[in-house]
Amino acid sequence: MAQSGSDKTLDALVIGAGFTGLYQLHCLRDRLGLNVQVVEAGGGIGGTWYWNRYPGARCDSESHSYCYSFSESLTVNWEFSERYPGPAEIRRYLTYVADELDLHKDIRLNTRVVSASYSEDDNLWQINTEDGTTYRAQFLITGVGCLSSANIPQIPGLDSFKGEWYHTGQWPHDDVDFTGKRVGQIGTGSTGIQAAPVIAETAGHFTVFQRTANYSVPAHNGPLTAEFQQYVKENVSEIVDLVRTSPNGHPWKISERKAATTDPEKRRELYEEAWKVGGLRFRATFEDLLKDKTANDTAAEFIKDKIRSIVKDPQTAAKLTNIDHPYATKRPPIDTHYFETYNRDNVDLVDIRANPIVEITPEGIRTEDQEYPLDIIVFATGFDAMTGSLLKLNITGRDGLALSQAWSEGPKNYLGLQVTGFPNLFTVTGPGSPSVLCNMPVAIEQHVEWITDCIAYMRENNIKTVEARADAMDDWVEQVNTAANATLMPQANHSWYLGANIPGKPRVFMPYPGGMKTYADICSDIASDGYRGFTLDS
Ligand code: NA7
């Protein structure tokens, strides 16, 4: 590993040692022969899964597709144990990959980037880390994740709280003991919905503070059978084809049936079957769920009926089904006994839309109508998604242009990969790419391979800089908006897809919703056309 305090000149510096960093290192170092360093703020590899260790944490993508697909031998020599992998298993998987590809020696852990600036004179990025190391590199590639910058709401009084508090995305490595304690959880997104049933099991009393009610479908997690593991090994290329050609990078096909035109009885039967299978594939029951509000209403009503049938207390069920957005227009959670949790005697649900939180007191949380005494507060309040972790890097491009300035009205990015004014900077799964609307490893592999091909092309053709053109970037932002407006997704006002969860953040629909396959085809076409929309300068 590199020594701290030293200066180092490289071909490429990659920030982050998650799925992106590991594969980008492998591609640039082992395919192109570049001198590459990965730096990682965490004390281990894993990216998102290094930080997200909260109770019940689990990936919502199915394990046999939540992995790299570039190497058949890597796939067949690894076995996931459950339908949805947890953080520890994903970290073990990534460690296995890093071992197999001999990546550890070029990854420097506990190294947080504090700034990066581009120097036109020598066409190098200068990257400074918290421990005083300076790297210089022709290429700077960010693999900092879309959901890594924790959103801890500015609720007055948090400093005065006498108990313990935690954000789910910065969870301690030692278990938090909830036994017998009065625990409050703010947030009912995917994370809160995973955490609540587990916390409720040991907490003395557990209070969930819900701002926006949410849909959720059972995950039906469980151990993978030996037969399924064998099926995965024997069908690697079919599975890879499936994930690479599907709109969301998942290993299933979206039905061609339309909910709006299916006979109600048949429709209910199909929803029932999908409910039994569970997971994110519930969205694939009908083709029109995200395009047609009438169709979407049928899924929404089905799920609300399920919630009412599970939750025994009608008032609690009413709060849980008072959902203000169409199904799957916010990231749809999947759960393990989330709604059942509200049938426990030690669990309460507080509607903070009706009675907003006013402050945190030394004793607990005070809403407009009463105070809730607590020993522990869990913030399952999400992230400054997609842009937060990039802006925290303090990136400055050509002519001293700060990324924060370039994005003052919201993120503009060509293909989600490059920003005008920031030559040779690539933002893997950046805003404007399918990223969070896709099974992440699939989106990451496509980006990493495209970037690798682009750098290879530059070297073959003696090109020193690649930079998105302003007109191409503006045009892409338009395309992202057009694709978003063809769906119901912009109808969810409080969605982090729009940046709406962070006070003051410009509202821009950030991920590209036109589908992963369509997006990958556009990227390939642009590359084949001599990197249309990019300025290549020798
Ligand atoms: P999300 O999906 O952003 O959910 C955060 C939750 O926290 C959501 O219920 C929010 O309510 C709530 N929240 C956020 N800020 C506040 C404040 N200030 N007061 C009360 N409640 C608040 O984050 P997750 O971690 O659950 O999931 C992120 C992604 O990780 C997920 O989509 C998957 O892709 C994996 P709101 O809905 O904004 O009213």
What is the model's pLDDT at position 453?
A: 98
**Mean pLDDT (whole number) for 139-151:** 96
Ligand 1 mutation target, pool 48, 166, 190, most atoms within 8 A of CB: 190
369 pLDDT higher than 90: yes
| Confidence band of 4 (pLDDT split at 50, 70, 90) | very low
2 pLDDT higher than 80: no
Residues in contact with ligand 1 (CB, 6 Å cut-off)? 147, 153, 186-192, 211-212, 331, 352, 380-383, 436, 494, 496, 501
* Cα 407 to Cα 391: distance, rounded to the nearest angstrom: 9
The CATH T-level fold of domain 8-149+385-537 is: FAD/NAD(P)-binding domain (3.50.50)
**Mean pLDDT (whole number) for 442-450:** 98
What is the model's pLDDT at position 494?
A: 84
* Contact call for residues 477 and 432 (beta carbons, < 8 A): yes
Q: What is the 3-state secondary structure (H, E, C) of 317-383?
A: HHHHHCCCCCCCCCCCCEECCHHHHCCCCCEEEEECCCCCEEEECCCEEEECCCEEECCEEEECCCE
Q: Who wins on pLDDT, 4 or 330?
A: 330
Ligand 1 mutation target, pool 501, 502, 510, most atoms within 8 A of CB: 501
| Confidence band of 72 (pLDDT split at 50, 70, 90) | very high
CA angle 218, 433, 73 (to 5 degrees): 70
| Nearest Cα residue to atom 25 of ligand 1 | 382
| Domain range annotation of the chain | 8-149+385-537, 158-224+251-379
394 pLDDT higher than 80: yes
1 pLDDT higher than 80: no
What is the percent of the chain with per-residue pLDDT over 90, rounded to a whole number?
98
Alpha-carbon Rg for the chain, nearest whole angstrom, is: 23
What is the model's pLDDT at position 455?
A: 98
CA angle 97, 98, 101 (to 5 degrees): 85
Helices (H), 102-209: 190-202
- Unique residue bearing structure tokens 């990451």: 444
**Mean pLDDT (whole number) for 146-168:** 97
Residue-wise pLDDT for 424-436, tens only, equals 999 999 999 999 9
What is the percent of the chain with per-residue pLDDT over 70, rounded to a whole number?
99
The amino acid at 298: T
Residue-wise pLDDT for 395-440, tens only, equals 999 999 999 999 999 999 999 999 999 999 999 999 999 999 999 9
| Nearest Cα residue to atom 14 of ligand 1 | 381
Residue-wise pLDDT for 239-266, tens only, equals 999 999 999 999 999 999 999 999 999 9
pTM here?
0.97
Measured from the Cα of 153, ligand 1's closest atom is: 18
What is the model's pLDDT at position 13?
A: 98
Span from the CA of 523 to the centroid of ligand 1 (angstroms): 31
Residue-wise pLDDT for 113-125, tens only, equals 999 999 999 999 9
Span from the CA of 212 to the centroid of ligand 1 (angstroms): 9
What is the model's pLDDT at position 6?
A: 65
Least confident of 44-53, 326-335, 358-367, 496-505: 496-505
Sheet hosting strand 164-167, strand order edge to edge: 164-167, 376-379, 182-186, 205-210, 347-351
SS3 (DSSP) at 395: strand
